[in-house]
């Protein structure tokens, strides 16, 4: 049975888009937004009676998908979207041909006064992405991927293999030697972990060069926080090598990455694996608190060692006339890690989980109107 699409009426201002979906008594509405598209589905009474309806739209330009919302009422569903850049669009969809069910909402229509909206030059390969891929496959026998995409696939695959190697080595040694292997964890996989953690700084550069979305600040602090524990708190203090907490933190870090990198690979390959998505946005619930606890224990265990060795501490007199108390710094770091740090990380992941796994996959508001 062919997919049924409801009538959709759209209007715009310079900053926003409004899509009105003509469905009455809608149930189970889902609007899945990305920066370039929206996938919508719901059950309700539309042009073909009571049925399951769905549609997909690829927008003319980028939208702010993080703040897109939709409102369900008795006789319609409204999708409220902000444009990423404030400008008037000559049309809603990327391609010049619009779907037959997409209409202009003349009751709300606004245009730029006395200025004709001119269409900017566009890349037809992006507007007709699926058709272009099919054409390539027929002509060449394969789809020619962009260099950036190929690099990101190999990067994520390499990182997954790296963390898998660490987990396999730790697992085999534990199976062979039992609890005796725990004290030898850093000796066995420490160098591999240091190499792969340094490699993660590439993730700071990816958004800088347009390989991924977002700011480089977030991955910088995430990678640097983990490397602070690995290099300064563990690697530079040999008495920490045999501590069981090192075994625990390596397991936790590796488990997080063994889910994260396959999820990114699936996204790059255009595959939606339900279990992988669920794990990506659920596994942090037990692992993040345990990771924060283990990192806190490592910092706490280092405090008496640093008091003894004075490592990283700068005392007077010195040519720079400054002092730095590493023990005090670690105590402050510990308080920031446990209280505001853990809250910020957990609340950020909770919002992402709600967006990806929530019933509406977008911020949803329910309005019930009595006729």
Rounded to whole angstroms, the Cα distance separating 154 from 138 reads: 25
Three-class SS state of 15: coil
Paired tokens of 177: 């030697």
Does residue 119 carry a catalytic annotation? no
Catalytic member of 288, 307, 315, 333: 288
Is residue 265 within 8 A of residue 280, CB to CB? The reply is no
Label the pairing between strands 77-82 and 69-72: antiparallel
Per the listing, tokens 């602070």 go with 228
Paired tokens of 348: 């950020």
User: Cβ atoms within 10 A of the Cβ of 58, count?
Assistant: 17
The span from the first CA to the last CA of the chain, in angstroms, equals: 34
Three-class SS state of 100: coil
Three-class SS state of 44: strand
Is residue 362 within 8 A of residue 355, CB to CB? The reply is yes
Three-class SS state of 83: strand
Is residue 22 within 8 A of residue 76, CB to CB? The reply is yes
Element (H, E) at 104: strand 102-104
Element (H, E) at 188: helix 185-199
DSSP 28: E
User: Cβ atoms within 10 A of the Cβ of 154, count?
Assistant: 11
Paired tokens of 212: 């991924």
Is residue 239 within 8 A of residue 277, CB to CB? The reply is no
- 310 conformational bin, left if phi > 0, alpha if psi -120 to 50, beta if neither: left
Paired tokens of 128: 């007709």
What are the strands, taking DSSP E only, across 77-212?
77-82, 102-104
Does residue 288 carry a catalytic annotation? yes
Report the catalytic residues: 288, 295
């Amino acid at each position: 049975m062919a997919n049924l699409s409801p009538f959709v009426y759209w209007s715009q201002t310079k900053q926003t888009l409004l899509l009105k979906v003509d469905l009455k008594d809608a149930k189970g509405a889902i609007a899945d937004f990305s920066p370039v598209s929206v996938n919508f589905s719901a059950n309700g009474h539309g042009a073909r009676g009571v049925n399951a309806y769905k549609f997909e739209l690829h927008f003319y330009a980028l939208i702010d998908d993080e703040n897109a919302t939709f409102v369900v009422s008795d006789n319609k569903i409204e999708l409220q979207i902000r444009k990423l850049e404030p400008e008037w669009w000559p049309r809603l969809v990327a391609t010049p041909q619009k779907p037959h069910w997409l209409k202009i909402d003349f009751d709300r229509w606004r245009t730029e006064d006395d200025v004709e909206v001119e269409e900017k030059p566009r890349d037809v390969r992006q507007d007709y992405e699926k058709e272009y891929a099919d054409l390539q496959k027929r002509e060449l026998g394969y789809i020619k991927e962009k260099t950036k995409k190929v690099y990101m696939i190999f990067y994520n695959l390499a990182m997954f293999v790296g963390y898998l190697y660490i987990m396999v080595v730790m697992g085999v040694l534990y199976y062979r030697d039992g609890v005796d292997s725990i004290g030898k964890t850093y000796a066995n996989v420490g160098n591999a972990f240091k190499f792969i953690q340094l490699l993660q700084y590439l993730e700071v550069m990816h958004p800088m060069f347009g390989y991924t979305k977002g700011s480089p600040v977030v991955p910088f602090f995430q990678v640097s926080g983990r490397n602070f524990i690995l290099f300064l708190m563990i690697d530079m203090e040999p008495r920490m090598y045999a501590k069981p907490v090192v075994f625990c933190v390596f397991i936790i870090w590796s488990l997080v990455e063994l889910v994260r990198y396959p999820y990114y690979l699936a996204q790059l390959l255009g595959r939606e694996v339900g279990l992988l998505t669920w794990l990506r946005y659920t596994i942090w619930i037990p692992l993040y608190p345990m990771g924060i606890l283990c990192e806190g224990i490592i910092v706490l265990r280092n405090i008496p060692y640093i008091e003894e060795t004075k490592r990283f501490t700068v005392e007077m007199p010195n040519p720079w006339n400054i002092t730095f108390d590493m023990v005090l710094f670690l105590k402050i770091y510990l308080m920031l890690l446990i209280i505001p740090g853990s809250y910020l990380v957990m609340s950020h992941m909770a919002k992402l989980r709600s967006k990806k796994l929530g019933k509406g996959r977008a911020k949803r508001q329910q309005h019930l109107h009595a006729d």
